[in-house]
Chains A and B, each alone.
Chain A
Amino acid sequence: MFASWLPVIIVAILIGGVVVVFSRYNDLVRSKKRVEEAWSGIDVQLRRRASLMPNLVEMVKGYAEHEREVFEEVARARGAVQQAGGAGQAANANNMLSQALLRVFAVVENYPQLRASENFMSLRGDLADAEEKIAFARQWYNRNVLDYNTHIETYPDVIMARSFNFASAEFFRTDEEGRAEVHINFSRRPASPEQPASPPAA
């Protein structure tokens, strides 16, 4: 009696196991796709901010031609943002850009006329908005990364993740260590020859 049922039970267990494995695998893939989607959200905002740079540089140049060093730093940082491969690199490049921006604004402080001009104020508003959007995009991305990383590092998904080579995703950090790294990387890196494209005369 039992013997006649045994093959059926074994087959059922096997089928059940396969189904479970498939669905766990699909869950992992879905989770990974979500991280990628959230990353594209950050990427869009990073590029948006970087695209504001030529305008800013052009505007400040009109007043402070001699601050070439600052402009070059902005150009390098912008290039780095555009070429960044992963979350870590992009975060570094973005921090670099933030620092370059700080220097630009320090220069602007010396030119009250520029500071008060309508164009500059509106650009400043756009920059602030872009920064806020990056912050929110980062939050969303990091939440997804946390979820994904927790998945692939906890039992039972960890078995699946190991056997199918699911690598853990990188957080997008903006902490102090990140900034320090920027400087080291920066000094080692050859200066990007790319100059910011001059904006259409406005």
Chain B
Amino acid sequence: MIWVIHVLNGIAIGMLLFLLAAGLSLIFGLMKILNLTHGSFYLVGGYIGLTVMQRTGSFALALLAAAAAIALLGAVIERFVLRRFHLDELPQTLLTFGFLFIFADLSLWIWGGDPVMVRQPRILAGSLPMGDYGYPIYRLFLIAVGLVVAGALWWFQEHTRLGTMLRAGVDDAEIARALGIDVSLLFTLIFAVGAALAALGGVLAAPILSLYPGADFDALILAFVVVIVGGLGSLKGALVGALLVGLLDDFGKAFFPQFALFTVFVPMAFILVVRPTGLFGRR
């Protein structure tokens, strides 16, 4: 039974990592932007969810509002700032780094420095008895949400016109443009979707991982690890990488506690040695 709990737990955390990493990976795949502001999307999204939750008491509304607000924020940043430095990697990375600091300080100013937690919706609170142990219902819900989002993203990419355009854009933006695809609009759209995914991750993580100044950096590092393991630009890679990192982290901490600090980074280093592009990366 204890094994089942460790596996479930690894998957639940993996699903959170997937939400975080999927957006980062999508954005890089299409635009080649290494978006460091992604951490802010996660944290600010979580804080917006917190405020909505406090005002309305509705977790669903908190998720929606955070995703919508951060999607808009992402679209604005892409359209009016990053757009000016298309394919110019250094200025883009520095800009997104700068935004990370600005949003960190703005959040500290607005929401303060004490760690805060979003209350779990009542129906998801509590735990499911499993023999001697209990497993939190909320984490089972996380697994379900992760699967739904992964399925939706896959369907979007494989079976919609927009998804086809996205794949074309990832393969060769210039040719896609020549074929009449509005790559410019696509960029903004995908940037917004990626940002919204991070915000969803922030709100979903808040009831167990809490929100605090610095969570943006923590989330960013984990997202990078996942993307490095899975391969930049690949959704499948983000999913497999996230599950792998989640499980390794859980089992590592449970059975090799003295290596708790490295459970995430050792597999990453190993994969970089064996497959420098990540499990599903191209090039």
| A, B co-complexed | no
- B residues within 8 Å of A by Cβ? none
- A residues within 8 Å of B by Cβ? none
